[in-house]
Protein backbone atom coordinates (compact mmCIF):
# COMPACT_ATOMS: atom_id res chain seq x y z
CA UNK A 1 0.00 0.00 0.00
CA UNK A 2 2.84 2.39 0.84
CA UNK A 3 4.47 1.96 -2.57
CA UNK A 4 1.08 2.02 -4.30
CA UNK A 5 0.27 5.39 -2.71
CA UNK A 6 3.55 6.84 -4.00
CA UNK A 7 2.93 5.42 -7.49
CA UNK A 8 -0.54 6.93 -7.57
CA UNK A 9 0.95 10.32 -6.75
CA UNK A 10 3.31 10.09 -9.71
CA UNK A 11 6.54 8.57 -8.37
CA UNK A 12 7.81 6.26 -11.12
CA UNK A 13 11.55 5.76 -10.48
CA UNK A 14 11.84 2.08 -9.53
CA UNK A 15 15.01 2.55 -7.48
CA UNK A 16 13.36 5.32 -5.44
CA UNK A 17 10.20 3.27 -4.88
CA UNK A 18 12.24 0.24 -3.82
CA UNK A 19 14.34 2.33 -1.44
CA UNK A 20 11.26 3.96 0.13
CA UNK A 21 9.92 0.45 0.73
CA UNK A 22 13.17 -0.80 2.26
CA UNK A 23 14.01 2.04 4.67
CA UNK A 24 12.07 1.48 7.93
CA UNK A 25 10.38 4.87 8.38
CA UNK A 26 9.02 3.87 11.80
CA UNK A 27 12.58 4.07 13.21
CA UNK A 28 12.75 7.78 12.31
CA UNK A 29 9.55 9.01 13.96
CA UNK A 30 8.77 9.52 17.64
CA UNK A 31 7.46 6.44 19.41
CA UNK A 32 3.98 7.96 19.84
CA UNK A 33 3.74 8.38 16.04
CA UNK A 34 4.88 4.86 15.05
CA UNK A 35 1.38 3.83 13.95
CA UNK A 36 1.26 6.82 11.59
CA UNK A 37 4.80 6.42 10.24
CA UNK A 38 3.65 5.44 6.74
CA UNK A 39 0.76 7.87 6.50
CA UNK A 40 1.41 10.40 3.73
CA UNK A 41 1.84 13.40 5.98
CA UNK A 42 4.62 15.21 7.82
CA UNK A 43 5.07 14.33 11.50
CA UNK A 44 6.59 16.32 14.37
CA UNK A 45 10.00 15.35 15.75
CA UNK A 46 12.21 16.88 18.47
CA UNK A 47 13.39 20.52 18.51
CA UNK A 48 10.24 21.80 16.79
CA UNK A 49 11.21 20.13 13.51
CA UNK A 50 9.35 17.65 11.27
CA UNK A 51 9.94 14.52 9.23
CA UNK A 52 8.67 15.23 5.72
CA UNK A 53 5.75 13.30 4.30
CA UNK A 54 6.77 10.22 2.27
CA UNK A 55 5.63 11.69 -1.06
CA UNK A 56 7.82 14.79 -0.62
CA UNK A 57 10.84 12.63 0.33
CA UNK A 58 10.26 10.40 -2.70
CA UNK A 59 9.62 13.33 -5.04
CA UNK A 60 12.71 15.30 -4.03
CA UNK A 61 14.83 12.15 -4.22
CA UNK A 62 13.49 11.33 -7.68
CA UNK A 63 14.24 14.86 -8.90
CA UNK A 64 17.89 14.46 -7.87
CA UNK A 65 18.40 11.65 -10.44
CA UNK A 66 20.91 9.93 -8.16
CA UNK A 67 23.66 7.58 -9.27
CA UNK A 68 25.93 5.38 -7.16
CA UNK A 69 28.99 7.56 -7.75
CA UNK A 70 27.33 10.79 -6.58
CA UNK A 71 28.44 12.75 -3.53
CA UNK A 72 25.41 14.37 -1.90
CA UNK A 73 25.04 17.25 0.56
CA UNK A 74 21.86 17.48 2.64
CA UNK A 75 21.06 20.62 4.61
CA UNK A 76 18.84 19.64 7.55
CA UNK A 77 19.35 16.09 8.80
CA UNK A 78 16.30 16.10 11.05
CA UNK A 79 15.60 12.52 12.15
CA UNK A 80 17.96 11.14 9.47
CA UNK A 81 15.23 9.62 7.28
CA UNK A 82 16.03 11.50 4.07
CA UNK A 83 19.73 10.72 4.54
CA UNK A 84 18.91 7.01 4.94
CA UNK A 85 17.03 7.10 1.63
CA UNK A 86 19.88 8.97 -0.07
CA UNK A 87 22.47 6.53 1.29
CA UNK A 88 21.00 3.64 -0.70
CA UNK A 89 21.07 5.52 -3.99
CA UNK A 90 24.29 7.59 -3.81
CA UNK A 91 27.95 7.00 -3.07
CA UNK A 92 28.49 9.41 -0.17
CA UNK A 93 26.14 11.59 1.85
CA UNK A 94 27.05 14.50 4.13
CA UNK A 95 24.07 15.71 6.13
CA UNK A 96 24.30 18.89 8.21
CA UNK A 97 22.12 19.56 11.27
CA UNK A 98 22.07 22.64 13.56
CA UNK A 99 20.52 20.84 16.56
CA UNK A 100 22.93 18.59 18.48
CA UNK A 101 20.09 16.43 19.83
CA UNK A 102 18.81 15.71 16.31
CA UNK A 103 22.32 15.18 14.88
CA UNK A 104 23.24 12.65 17.60
CA UNK A 105 19.96 10.76 17.27
CA UNK A 106 20.19 10.68 13.45
CA UNK A 107 23.77 9.42 13.62
CA UNK A 108 22.71 6.60 15.94
CA UNK A 109 19.80 5.53 13.72
CA UNK A 110 21.91 5.59 10.57
CA UNK A 111 24.68 3.54 12.19
CA UNK A 112 22.11 1.02 13.42
CA UNK A 113 20.80 0.64 9.85
CA UNK A 114 24.30 0.21 8.45
CA UNK A 115 24.30 3.46 6.47
CA UNK A 116 28.08 3.70 6.64
CA UNK A 117 28.33 6.08 3.68
CA UNK A 118 26.56 8.87 5.60
CA UNK A 119 28.36 11.47 7.72
CA UNK A 120 26.24 13.54 10.11
CA UNK A 121 27.78 16.92 10.87
CA UNK A 122 26.67 19.38 13.54
CA UNK A 123 26.90 22.76 11.86
CA UNK A 124 25.32 25.73 10.14
CA UNK A 125 23.99 24.60 6.77
CA UNK A 126 23.73 28.22 5.62
CA UNK A 127 27.38 28.96 6.38
CA UNK A 128 29.46 25.88 5.63
CA UNK A 129 33.26 25.76 5.96
CA UNK A 130 35.06 26.60 2.71
CA UNK A 131 36.69 23.16 2.47
CA UNK A 132 33.36 21.29 2.20
CA UNK A 133 32.44 20.34 -1.34
CA UNK A 134 31.99 20.33 -4.22
CA UNK A 135 28.99 18.00 -4.54
CA UNK A 136 27.16 16.27 -7.37
CA UNK A 137 23.81 16.77 -5.67
CA UNK A 138 22.54 19.14 -2.95
CA UNK A 139 19.18 18.80 -1.19
CA UNK A 140 17.80 21.33 1.29
CA UNK A 141 15.06 20.13 3.64
CA UNK A 142 14.11 23.46 5.21
CA UNK A 143 12.52 26.58 3.75
CA UNK A 144 14.85 29.24 2.33
CA UNK A 145 13.75 32.70 1.29
CA UNK A 146 16.45 32.47 -1.36
CA UNK A 147 19.18 29.94 -2.17
CA UNK A 148 22.56 31.22 -0.90
CA UNK A 149 25.15 31.76 -3.61
CA UNK A 150 27.78 29.95 -1.52
CA UNK A 151 25.61 26.83 -1.70
CA UNK A 152 25.18 27.04 -5.47
CA UNK A 153 28.95 27.47 -5.85
CA UNK A 154 29.48 24.03 -4.28
CA UNK A 155 27.61 22.32 -7.11
CA UNK A 156 29.66 20.40 -9.68
CA UNK A 157 29.07 20.92 -13.40
CA UNK A 158 26.21 18.57 -14.24
CA UNK A 159 25.04 18.82 -10.63
CA UNK A 160 21.51 19.29 -9.32
CA UNK A 161 20.34 21.29 -6.30
CA UNK A 162 16.79 21.09 -4.98
CA UNK A 163 15.39 23.35 -2.24
CA UNK A 164 12.07 24.75 -0.98
CA UNK A 165 12.13 28.50 -1.63
CA UNK A 166 9.65 31.03 -0.29
CA UNK A 167 8.46 32.72 2.90
CA UNK A 168 9.28 30.98 6.16
CA UNK A 169 5.64 31.15 7.22
CA UNK A 170 3.44 29.82 4.44
CA UNK A 171 3.88 27.95 1.19
CA UNK A 172 7.19 27.48 -0.60
CA UNK A 173 7.97 26.21 -4.09
CA UNK A 174 10.47 23.44 -4.71
CA UNK A 175 13.18 24.84 -6.98
CA UNK A 176 15.56 22.65 -8.96
CA UNK A 177 18.84 24.18 -10.11
CA UNK A 178 20.98 22.34 -12.67
CA UNK A 179 24.55 23.51 -13.30
CA UNK A 180 25.53 23.19 -16.96
CA UNK A 181 28.65 24.30 -18.80
CA UNK A 182 26.84 27.53 -19.73
CA UNK A 183 25.50 28.31 -16.26
CA UNK A 184 22.56 27.59 -13.97
CA UNK A 185 19.17 26.41 -15.20
CA UNK A 186 16.29 27.03 -12.77
CA UNK A 187 12.98 25.15 -12.74
CA UNK A 188 9.98 25.52 -10.44
CA UNK A 189 8.41 22.21 -9.42
CA UNK A 190 5.63 21.85 -6.81
CA UNK A 191 4.38 23.80 -3.80
CA UNK A 192 5.43 22.49 -0.37
CA UNK A 193 5.57 23.47 3.30
CA UNK A 194 8.82 23.16 5.27
CA UNK A 195 10.05 24.48 8.60
CA UNK A 196 12.41 27.48 8.21
CA UNK A 197 16.12 27.10 7.52
CA UNK A 198 17.73 29.08 10.34
CA UNK A 199 21.33 30.35 10.54
CA UNK A 200 23.85 29.24 13.14
CA UNK A 201 24.16 26.19 15.35
CA UNK A 202 21.46 26.01 18.03
CA UNK A 203 22.85 26.89 21.46
CA UNK A 204 20.64 24.33 23.14
CA UNK A 205 19.13 21.00 22.11
Contact 78, 45 (CB under 8 A): yes
Q: Per the residue annotation, which of 41, 52, 79, 87 is the catalytic one?
A: 52
Rounded CA separation 154/72 (Å): 11
Gyration radius of the chain's alpha carbons: 16
Contacts of 157 by beta carbon, 8 Å cutoff, 6+ apart: 179, 180, 181
Contact 146, 172 (CB under 8 A): no
**Residue 24: HSE in the Cβ half-sphere, 13 Å Cα cutoff:** 9
Rounded CA separation 177/146 (Å): 12
Contact 193, 172 (CB under 8 A): yes
The question of whether 52 is a catalytic residue gets the answer: yes
Rounded CA separation 44/10 (Å): 25
**Residue 157: HSE in the Cβ half-sphere, 13 Å Cα cutoff:** 4
Distances (CA, A) of 67 to 5, 61, 149: 24, 11, 25
Q: Show which residues are catalytic.
A: 52
Amino acid sequence: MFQLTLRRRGISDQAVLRTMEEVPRELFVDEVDREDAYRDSALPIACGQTISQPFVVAYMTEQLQLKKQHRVLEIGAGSGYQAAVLSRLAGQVLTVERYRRLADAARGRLEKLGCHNVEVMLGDGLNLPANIGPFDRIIVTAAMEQIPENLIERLEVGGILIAPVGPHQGVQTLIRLTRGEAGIERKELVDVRFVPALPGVAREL
